Amino acid sequence: MAESLRGKLLIAAPSLFDFFRRSVVLIVEHTEQGAFGVILNRRADADVTELVPDLGPLVERGAPLWVGGPVAPDSIVVLGEFEQPEQSAGAVTGRIGVVDPDGDSEVLRARVFVGHAGWGPGQLDEELENDAWIVGEPDPEDVFAVGDLWSEAVARRGGDFRLLATMPDDPSLN
């Protein structure tokens, strides 16, 4: 296994045309047993209080649900910003960690995801070798972004990536 990518962003390469097309994934865990993360930039067609009303107090009124990935679409992952990240159920990067909805941690803000992205042993390493992903450093605001996070994350890589970031969602319309 290559170095752990915990706390890094996986930015879908333009050649990726499957479920992950133009997605930005925050890796929550990456070990020899596999990897686990959540897609940060795919909004669901429901809000938190519609589908998981118990989590309403963690988020702003009317906050949307986000699709974390194709794995376990009936599961919930909550990421939050903590004043003290060591109070989280699992620190990911900086002040961002996994929220235990039943815990009593002080969460400054949170985002609720349905499902997650997952890779078996060696699967993510293979995808990286095949250039399916661009690895990037997260910005503290990425978990809570609402704009075109894919373009922003690609542009932050600098150099030739700045041009790539301007690629339209459907290049055939260019």
The SS3 of residue 123 is helix
The SS3 of residue 10 is strand
pLDDT higher than 90, residue 167:
no
Instruction: Return the pLDDT at 158.
Output: 77
**Band of residue 88 on the pLDDT scale cut at 50, 70, 90:** confident
Note the pTM of the prediction, 2 decimals: 0.91
The three-point CA angle 131-136-142 to 5° equals 130
**Band of residue 174 on the pLDDT scale cut at 50, 70, 90:** low
pLDDT in tens, 108-148: 999 999 999 999 999 999 999 999 999 999 998 999 999 89
Beta strands in 43-153 (DSSP E): 43-47, 64-67, 71-82, 90-93, 96-98, 107-119, 133-136
In the chain, pLDDT over 70 holds for what percent of residues?
89
Instruction: Return the pLDDT at 20.
Output: 94
pLDDT in tens, 29-63: 999 999 999 999 999 999 999 999 999 899 998 99
- How far from 138 is each of 44, 66, 141, 157, CA to CA, in Å? 22, 18, 8, 11
Instruction: Return the pLDDT at 91.
Output: 87
* Distance between CA atoms of residues 94 and 26, nearest Å: 13
Task: Domains for the chain: give ranges and CATH numbers.
Answer: 9-173 (3.40.1740.10)
Q: Tell which residue, 166, 143, 145, has the closest CA to residue 155.
A: 166
pLDDT higher than 70, residue 161:
no
Helices marked H in 13-168? 48-51, 123-129, 149-156, 160-164
